[in-house]
Structure formats: C-alpha cells, structure tokens
Amino acid sequence: MQVVTTIAELRAQLAPLRQSGRTIGFVPTMGYLHRGHEALVRAARQECDVVVVSIFVNPLQFGPTEDFESYPRDSEHDRAILSAARADFLFQPAVEEIYPRPLVTEVAVPELSHSLEGRTRPTHFKGVATVVLKLLHIVWPDRAYFGQKDGQQVAVVRRLLSDLDLPIELRVVPTVREDDGLALSSRNVYLSPDERQVAPLLHKVLVRGREAAQAGSDGPTVQAAMEALLRQEPLVRLDYAAVVDPDSMQPKHELTGRVMLAIAAYVGKTRLIDNLVLDL
C-alpha cells in the first residue's frame, strides 16, 4: 500500500491507472479504523481494480464544542489494517493540504441537514458535504463507499451526487456490529466499562421499534415507544429517536415502503448514533 499525503501526488498516481481503464473505489474515513471501516474497504476491493482509502479528520464537520482535537488517532494501527485489507493507496493529507486557506465556497444540502443530527450539530453536514465533494474531486473514483451506520450522511451524499450530476456510484455497506448489537464506532473507545455495558441499548431499542413497525404501529407510536425505552436507562440521555423516510429525512406517519428508525443518545458523555432501515 502506498501512503500519499498530497493532492498532486495522488492525482499523478491515479491518472495513468484511470487512463488504462482500471476502476477506482474510494473509501473516505476519519481513521481509528475498525471492522466497520474494513467492511467498506473489502467491498471496494471486491468490486474495483484500485482501492483508495482516505484518513482525514475534517475540522469543518466538528462543532466548536465537539471532539475534533481529542478525536482518536492511531496511524500505525490504521495502516496495518489497510494493508491487511489490501488497500492500494492511503491518502492521509494534513489539514493545510485540504484547507490551505479559508473556504469562501459553500457546499450544503440544507433540506437534508437540519433534522436529526442537524438539530444538535447544525454545521455538521455542511462540513461533510464540503469535504466529501472535495475528496471526490481529488480521487475521482468510479464508486464511493459509505456505511449505513451514518444514515443521514448517506442521504446527504446521495442527494449531493444526484443534484450535481457526479458520475460516481454510491455504495452503502450495512452496519457492522459487536456481538451484543452495539454498532462499531471510533467513539466507542470513550465509553467506560459501565457505559459500554449499557450502550447496546440503542440497538435493542431499534429492534423493538422495528417489531412495533412490523406489527403495524404508525410512525409517531413507534417513535414514542423508542423514546420511552431509552428514558428508562439512567446512564443514557436521549437526543432523538425518529422514524423518517431514508431519502428525504422527513418524518413518516404511515409506515410503508422504506423506513429509517434512527436514534442518537449520550451514553455518559459520549454521543452515539445508530439506525435501522426497514422495507415494510
């Protein structure tokens, strides 16, 4: 695996491969890689001739009181994982490489960015949309791989690609979980042993929500049931439980077709998110 830190070098490396007809798969990450990220890399490896992974902790998508500075980082471990998963290129730029001067251009998908995550993290998806578009223009892949774990991010990126006519296929990889249901996340490292024990509650509540939806409950009823279950656990502080259309992020009343159940909650000080997409 080649490690590349500049935009110019990555473009120089990829251009001849693209010209010779090789397909390029791209997996954007913020590092501190786990089996969830690995699943994305393996999916890309299966489908593409060349696999590019980026590790970039994007300051633009963190709010002023969020964990940008303390976000976990472990380059050596990440490189070992990516070599084992047979990535071809690791693009690991410094912040100054991506943002050499303050941006005056905005990339935003406001319709999909203000609900759910956007209520607590109002500038988050603007930062995501901006960096994703920049990275896609740098790598120019045939396919880009994202995890269902970040369901609203998937909706934002899907709409961005469509609205701006980017000829890049979006691949969505199912959420990888621990045996007890907890979705793998780089932020799980923040959990104390007690918090780690209760953290699978998010997934349990989603499963209960799915059962209620499958039994015919409407959106508000499923949402209220999930909220009530989360409020029973003293170590968990609910941010939101929602029942939405997975493309528009709008609340769904009648539960038919594709439905996303989504939860965000603080376990101790750590904010965790999870979701399930149902086809009813």
Instruction: Give the range of 90-98, 134-142, 172-180, 228-236 binding ligand AMP by CB under 6 A.
Output: 172-180
* Total count of residues recorded for the chain: 280
CB 12, min distance to ligand AMP, A: 25
43 binds ligand AMP (CB under 6 A): no
Binding-site member from 45, 134, 149, 271 for ligand AMP (CB under 6 A): 149
Per CB under 6 A, the list member of 40, 155, 230, 260 interacting with ligand AMP is 40
The residue type at 272: L
Residue from 52, 53, 184, 199 binding ligand AMP (CB under 6 A): 184
Looking at the chain, the number of H-run helices and the number of E-run strands are 11, 9
Verify binding: residue 147, ligand AMP, rule CB under 6 A: yes
Residue among 23, 12, 18, 14 at smallest CA distance from 45: 23
- The three-state secondary structure class of 63 is coil
Would you call 166 helix, strand, or coil by DSSP? coil
Give the containing element (helix H, strand E) for 4.
Answer: strand 2-4
- C-alpha distances in angstroms, 227 versus 205, 240, 253, 264, 270? 9, 8, 16, 11, 18
Residue 183 touching ligand AMP (CB under 6 A): yes
Choosing from 10, 24, 36, 198, the residue that interacts with ligand AMP (CB under 6 A) is 36
Q: Which residues are catalytic?
A: 37
How many positions of this chain bind ligand AMP (CB under 6 A)?
Answer: 17
Least Cβ distance, residue 39 to ligand AMP (angstroms): 5
Among 24, 37, 271, 272, binds ligand AMP (CB under 6 A): 37
> What's the closest the beta carbon of residue 216 comes to ligand AMP, in angstroms?
30
Decide: is 270 part of the binding site for ligand AMP (CB under 6 A). Answer: no
Q: What's the closest the beta carbon of residue 59 comes to ligand AMP, in angstroms?
A: 13
Please report whether residue 185 would count as binding ligand AMP according to CB under 6 A: yes
Binds ligand AMP (CB under 6 A): choice among 10, 30, 202, 272: 30
- The sign one gets for the Cα dihedral 91, 92, 97, 102 is positive
Task: Give the DSSP H/E element, type plus range, for residue 102.
Answer: none
Count of alpha carbons within 13 angstroms of residue 65, beta-carbon side: 6
β-pairing, 258-267 vs 236-244, is antiparallel
Using rule CB under 6 A, residue 161 touches ligand AMP: no
56/240 with CB nearer ligand AMP: 56
3-state secondary structure at position 213: helix
196 forms part of the interface with ligand AMP (CB under 6 A): no
CB 223 within 8 A of CB 241: yes
Q: Which residues bind ligand AMP (CB under 6 A)?
A: 29-30, 36-37, 39-40, 146-147, 149-150, 173, 175-176, 183-186
